[in-house]
Structure 1
Amino acid sequence: MQDSKQSYALPIFMMILLFGMISFVTNLAAPMGVVVKSQFQASNFLGMLGNFANFLAYLFMGIPAGKLLEKIGYKKTALIAILVGFVGVGVQYFSGVAESFLVYLLGAFIAGFSMCMLNVVVNPMLNTLGGGGKKGNQLIQIGATFNSLSGTLVPMLVGALVGEITKNTAIKDVNPVMFTAMGVFALVGLVLLFVNIPEPHIIKDKMKAIEKSMHSAWSFRHFILGAVGIFVYVGVEVGIPGTLNLFLADPMAGGLDATTAGFVAGTYWFLMLIGRFVGASIGGKVSSRSMLIIASAVGMGLVLLAIISSPATTVSIPVLQTTATGGISFRAANVPVNAMYLIFVGLCTSVMWGGIFNLAVEGLGKFTASASGIFMTMVVGGGILPLVQNGIADKLGYMVSYWVPFIGLAYLLYYSLIGSKNINKDIPVD
């Protein structure tokens, strides 16, 4: 048994790397909005189209990715996802060479297919490689932590590479980030190609009869409302720091250089990392419902404070920023107080996915697997709501646009209090 565990050490490490890459590539879209705004003189709405394209892919690939996992297993599905991710990031790189906004959007869309497939593969694969139980859950928590760390670093890396936003800032300025992502994909792909992976989810008997049921996951009210909750949650989680980055880097609004703006926005993801540590430590004592109620209510309060506060009021927070000689140092920076409130929302959003998922699938029994595929499709909210938010930002202002995540958090509070109750307990689920 010990030998078996040791033989899986390398693929486990690769899966943790891929867990990080999901966040790395996904969160690349928001800070890239600052770059494409500069290169193509785009609006905030257009700047977030890359993020929209990335998440739109989930709408098309969520359920098929689960079917693919059943037919060809972890290894082949992961290898296909890695290849698609390599191509997607590569197309984004070539968009800088071609100086084409449409090519950039195509690359973001292709990358989104990869991220969706990786999301379907990585969580159950880590659980399987760990042998299930506490060890499997521990590996997933380690992967989630690395995922948050990657999300923290991306806006910082992009901001550091771009530096002071000028009219000459272009996609080619962040090529090192693209090359890093492509390099990790290539490395993990080569390793997985030559290692053996257990495949418990392949359906080997293709003629196996599937019991017909007049019900489905959609028969449960609390699941339907939970699916909407996932749509809303991902939109809130992505929209808050994405729009914050654009706000801070706008000379007419936040007035910060891109490096400082990126590091401030990255602090949101860092606080999500902290929140996940706390959530994991108290998860055995506090119910999902209680955690979601508290997180939603506190998040609403923080967003409301950001909306009603004046951007002219500044606070000093410690961030990495550029020096006069072009280097980077860790020192205090004055930022609008709105930014401080918004980055603290990261502590709240950190625990929401698990809470919504647990509440929504409670009591679903045999319908849980199909429910998971539907959830992955609803991740498309991470592209749609930030797009709506930034359309409002263009017309009415950045802080006014934060009514979108405020309303989203209000819905999640409703779901945690009322909508999550299972009123369909008469439906057979065995």
Structure 2
Amino acid sequence: MENNNTQHGNIIAIITMMFLFAMISFVTNLAAPIGVIWKNVFSGTGSENMIGMLGNAMNFLAYLFMGIPAGKLLTKIGYKKTALAGIATGFVGVLIQFISGRFGADISGFAIYLFGAFISGFAVCILNTVVNPMLNLLGGGGNRGNQLNLIGGTLNSLSGTLTPMLVGALIGTVTANTKMADINLVLFIALGVFAMAFIVLLFIPIADPEMGKTTSNTVFEHSPWAFRHFVLGTIAIFVYVGVEVGIPGTLNFYISDASAKGAGLVGNAAAVGGFVAGTYWLLMLVGRFIGSFIGGNVSSRTMMIGTTTLGMVLIIAAMILGKTTTVSMPVFTGSSFTLVTVPIAALLLVLCGLCTSIMWSSIFNLATEGLGKYSAAASGIFMMMVVGGGLLPLVQNFIADHSTYMVSYIVPLLAIAFMLYYALFGSKNVNKEIPID
């Protein structure tokens, strides 16, 4: 009977972790579509695009401060308590964003929103640190644990697909009266899931694995920074996350902007922008699914070379063609695909989702290969580098404010060019003389 209760508790815990996997993407991907509201509030300032991306920047900036502490928190208080801390922090962060809507569409409301986005970033960082190993633990490790993580990753991508669509649909046509309160439904959903997950997890007994046995007597003569391929890999991760977020985030602004209608865009611009951005995340899901099948036969380096090359071609074509040509593009509306007329650049940039889908895992594998006992410290540093998802889109939208949307894509283009260099040359371990046992 006790074994049955434990198994039943584990199933509930697994389902809860799956919800949290989805919430990580849900909360992260709220920032860019919500930015459409603040972009409109501060229109005419000459920096509206960069302002619209500040919420995203604050969300990712939290990783810089919480990346390594989150790992230490995990070893100090265990998986369950760390997960509870992350859930509680997420609830507070989303609640602050909801409260910002009560202050109206002005600088005070915007400041409160940014603070809420920053707190939410702490939560997402903590949850990112705990959810993967916790699912592996609940699955008993091995193939079962890996399978649960793959299912969780799929839900994460699906959530990332639906979030900009839902926000875009709730915003509707962006006008001078559009405000945070218009997307309260999304925030209520987030608050409800966080509250439910906290209550469920609080009453489920979960045993933490034994930690610290091997590292207590291990001598670290060096650090991960002593390895050139790791140093270059951290830069690659930094720019990768900026590319992953910047491409759909800026595209959402571009489509939502009324000026995009000059290219023949039809329909509700804000809603279409959300659907287009959501389709990018859907293609990332497809790419990860395909990558899971070919990953056993194709090396990370080869996949990186192929996807970065294709990504550069797509971005260059988008920059050149811009909105001179329109196409009927199938976009995922959450339940089905619908044809909408968009600039051809939008279609080309959405296809980049297939390319970015496998880059994180490929870079991580290349950068940590041959690190041995330094791998754990490397993982914490990698989590800090996620801050690139906030900073690079900020730079990209600064350029968009002072030039054009298409010119701003020089930022992800250069970033992908660096990732191609890393795959070709920078990923080679030239420090094999360093002891790693």
TM-score by length of structure 1 reads 0.95
Q: Judge conservation of contact 1:70–1:201 (CA < 8 Å) in 2.
A: no
| 1:95 partner letter | S
Work out which of the residue numbers 136, 142, 153 in structure 2 matches 1:127: 136
Q: Judge conservation of contact 2:26–2:159 (CA < 8 Å) in 1.
A: yes
| 1:305 partner letter | A
Q: Judge conservation of contact 1:128–1:136 (CA < 8 Å) in 2.
A: yes
Q: Judge conservation of contact 2:42–2:51 (CA < 8 Å) in 1.
A: no
Q: Tell me the equivalent position of 1:174.
A: 183
Counterpart mapping for 1:246-325 below 5 A: 246-254=253-261, 257-319=269-331
Q: Tell me the equivalent position of 1:56.
A: 61
2:177 match: secondary structure: coil
| 2:49 partner letter | N
Separation in 2 of the partners of 1:355 and 1:362? 11
Q: Judge conservation of contact 2:305–2:420 (CA < 8 Å) in 1.
A: yes
| 1:291 partner letter | M
Cα deviation digits, residues 159-200 of structure 1 (max 9, x gap): 111111111111100000001011100111101100011211
Question: RMSD of the TM alignment (CA)?
Answer: 1.9
Separation in 2 of the partners of 1:344 and 1:391? 24
Separation in 1 of the partners of 2:405 and 2:273? 15
Q: Tell me the equivalent position of 1:86.
A: 91
Matched, 1:191 2:200: yes
Q: Tell me the equivalent position of 2:159.
A: 150
Separation in 2 of the partners of 1:120 and 1:235? 19
In structure 2, the gaps of 5 or more residues are none
Counterpart mapping for 1:16-415 below 5 A: 16-41=18-43, 43-99=48-104, 100-200=109-209, 202-203=211-212, 209-254=216-261, 257-319=269-331, 331-415=338-422
Separation in 1 of the partners of 2:210 and 2:60? 26
* Change in 2 beyond 3 A, CA 1:343/1:320: closer
Separation in 2 of the partners of 1:57 and 1:427? 33
TM-score by length of structure 2 reads 0.93
Q: Tell me the equivalent position of 1:417.
A: 424
Separation in 2 of the partners of 1:289 and 1:187? 41
* Change in 2 beyond 3 A, CA 1:335/1:292: same
Q: Which moved more, 1:194-203 or 1:80-89?
A: 194-203
Q: CA deviation at 1:420?
A: 0.5
Cα deviation digits, residues 79-134 of structure 1 (max 9, x gap): 00000000001100110111210000000000000000000001111111111111
Cα deviation digits, residues 240-279 of structure 1 (max 9, x gap): 0000000000011355521111101110000001001100
| 1:18 partner letter | L
Separation in 2 of the partners of 1:83 and 1:202? 24
Separation in 1 of the partners of 2:332 and 2:174? 16
Q: Judge conservation of contact 2:304–2:423 (CA < 8 Å) in 1.
A: yes
Q: CA deviation at 1:330?
A: 5.5
2:259 match: secondary structure: coil
| 2:193 partner letter | V
In structure 1, the gaps of 5 or more residues are 322-327
Separation in 1 of the partners of 2:3 and 2:245? 41
Separation in 2 of the partners of 1:342 and 1:421? 30
Q: Judge conservation of contact 2:171–2:178 (CA < 8 Å) in 1.
A: yes
Work out which of the residue numbers 4, 15, 20 in structure 2 matches 1:13: 15
Q: Judge conservation of contact 1:317–1:335 (CA < 8 Å) in 2.
A: yes
Separation in 2 of the partners of 1:69 and 1:318? 43
2:196 match: secondary structure: helix
2:340 match: secondary structure: strand
Q: Tell me the equivalent position of 1:324.
A: none
